Amino acid sequence: MNSDFARIMALLRKEKKISQKQAASDLGISQGLLSHYEKGKRECGLDFLVKAADYYGVSCDYLLGRSPEPEGKVISVDELPGDDPNHRDKVTPGTMMIAFNKKLVVNSLNVLFSLLGKFRSATVIKEVSSYLMLAVYKCFRYVYSANPKNDQKFFTIDETLAKSSCDAAMNIAEAKLNASLKGVATPGEDAVSEDQTPEITTQSLSEEFPQYYSSTVNLIKNSEARIKEVSE
């Protein structure tokens, strides 16, 4: 059994606010054995996997981390809502990856910015926005500069300074964001109190953002796959 099973089992139980003792009783095993499953110390059998999936109302593929969707479905680009309801991307084999990834990013940003509004913090909104805009600027400049014939005078910052300066600005935005979220008010910024932080669960996301939930969980899965490539 992989580590995703242990993580997801514990996550589902905690999100549904079920005690480990109660879950173990409902599933017909000892609390100690369930604890081992949730910590990844023991592997369960197929019968228990199916029973746990039924108990939490998810698919076996979701429990095993094979699908980011509780129902276990695999989404296609046509199933993702577009960023403009009046325009659908004309998808061809050559543009399939662009269309799919664009929708993952744009739809996930809709979720992110909706959540930002719940913090009631100018600093949080400003610094997340700055970080994202700088990331787009950085990528755009790489694309623009790929052709040496493109005039660098399009930008006001010299190419030799752009990357490092952009990284520095992103680091500052991240530092201010982290400080605000930790309740520390840096000069000229506000701090977020605990009662301003929204409770976020897989269920709340799916219910509040039914159109964009699939995009968000797939973006998270894809991102963590890339992170694992460089960290393992």
Q: What is the pLDDT along the chain (232 residues), one digit of tens a residue?
A: 567 899 999 999 998 899 999 999 999 999 999 999 999 999 999 899 999 999 998 889 888 888 887 776 655 555 555 555 544 555 555 577 788 888 899 999 999 999 999 999 999 999 999 999 999 999 999 999 999 999 999 999 999 999 999 999 999 999 999 999 999 999 999 999 999 999 999 989 999 999 999 999 999 999 999 999 998 7
Q: Where are the alpha helices (DSSP H) in 16-76?
A: 20-27, 31-39, 46-56, 60-63
8 within 8 A of 57, measured Cβ to Cβ = no
What is the model's pLDDT at position 91?
52
Vertex 223: Cα angle to 120 and 196 (nearest 5): 15
Q: What is the largest CA-CA distance in the chain?
A: 69
List the one residue out of 126, 145, 131, 130 whose CA is nearest residue 189: 126
Number of Cα atoms under 13 Å in the Cβ half of residue 227: 6
d(CA 227, CA 221): 10
Both tokens assigned to 96: 């399939």
What is the model's pLDDT at position 207?
92
What is the model's pLDDT at position 165?
96
Neighbouring C-beta atoms of residue 185, cutoff 10 Å:
13
d(CA 232, CA 227): 9
d(CA 156, CA 154): 7
The residue type of 140 is F
212 within 8 A of 80, measured Cβ to Cβ = no
What is the model's pLDDT at position 99?
82
Burial degree of 101 (CB within 10 A; 0-12, 13-18, 19+)? middle
pTM (two decimals):
0.78
C-alpha distances (whole Å) from 170 to each of 60, 106, 137, 182, 214 are: 39, 20, 11, 18, 28
